[in-house]
Amino acid sequence: MINCPALIDRIMAVMEVAFDPAYGEAWNQRQVADALAMPNTHALVVDAAGAPIPDGARSAVQPAGFVLTRHVLDEEELLLIAVAPGARQRGIGVALMEQMITASRARGIVQIFLEMRRGNPAIHLYNKFGFEPIGERKHYYRMANGERIDAITFGRSI
């Protein structure tokens, strides 16, 4: 359980610019706060160099990306990962995944899962980390225009 307004602000600063509104994937502040209030939720925010910004203190460092996960027993779900558009394709997504996997291993996690809408370029990042498709839910996501998109579940052992 994490109760840190500065952390929520940093996550929201990236959230608000990172997700295409057409897909309705961004979470609002309330959803982030509620998730962080749940036990076993983990958040990592990094700067433009991919270095972690510590949760607690106020900081002038601009957040460039974040990842949110939650674990149950020895399995962890990647809930959201995002990098601000101006900071993309410079390895920050890789830095987030590496640090997330290291932290997961340290808490005894053996499997990581994530779910992605079909067609999300994030698949390049997930493939790079050895995630394999293990299932799909047809027409699971609804876009802002009402169209439906499949969800694909990926997993890998760590």
With contacts defined by CB under 6 A, name the span among 36-44, 103-111, 116-124, 138-146 that binds ligand COA.
116-124
Q: Hey, what long-range contacts does 121-130 have (CB within 8 A, 24 or more apart)?
A: 122/81, 122/93, 125/81, 125/93, 125/94, 125/97, 126/154, 128/94, 128/97, 129/97, 129/101, 129/156, 130/156
With contacts defined by CB under 6 A, name the span among 37-45, 115-123, 133-141, 142-150 that binds ligand COA.
115-123
Report the C-alpha gap between 23 and 91 in whole angstroms: 24
Instruction: Determine which residue in the list 2, 17, 19, 158 makes contact with ligand COA, applying CB under 6 A.
Output: 19
The token pair at 24 is: 């309705």
Instruction: Determine which residue in the list 8, 11, 46, 83 makes contact with ligand COA, applying CB under 6 A.
Output: 83
Catalytic residue (one of 126, 132, 136, 141): 126
Residue 89 is a binding residue for ligand COA (CB under 6 A): yes
**In DSSP terms, which residues pair with 81 in a beta bridge?**
67
Q: Which of residues 20-79 bind ligand COA (CB under 6 A)?
A: none
Strands 148-157 and 65-72: unpaired
| Contact assessment for residue 93 and residue 64, using Cβ atoms and an 8 Å cutoff | no
* 115 is annotated as an active-site residue: yes
| Angstrom distances, CA of residue 5 to CA of 2, 13, 18 | 9, 12, 20
Residue 101 is a binding residue for ligand COA (CB under 6 A): no
Instruction: Determine which residue in the list 80, 100, 101, 112 makes contact with ligand COA, applying CB under 6 A.
Output: 80
Instruction: Determine which residue in the list 81, 100, 101, 152 makes contact with ligand COA, applying CB under 6 A.
Output: 81
Active site residues: 115, 126
Binding positions for ligand COA, rule: CB under 6 A: 18-19, 80-83, 88-94, 116, 120-122, 124-125, 128
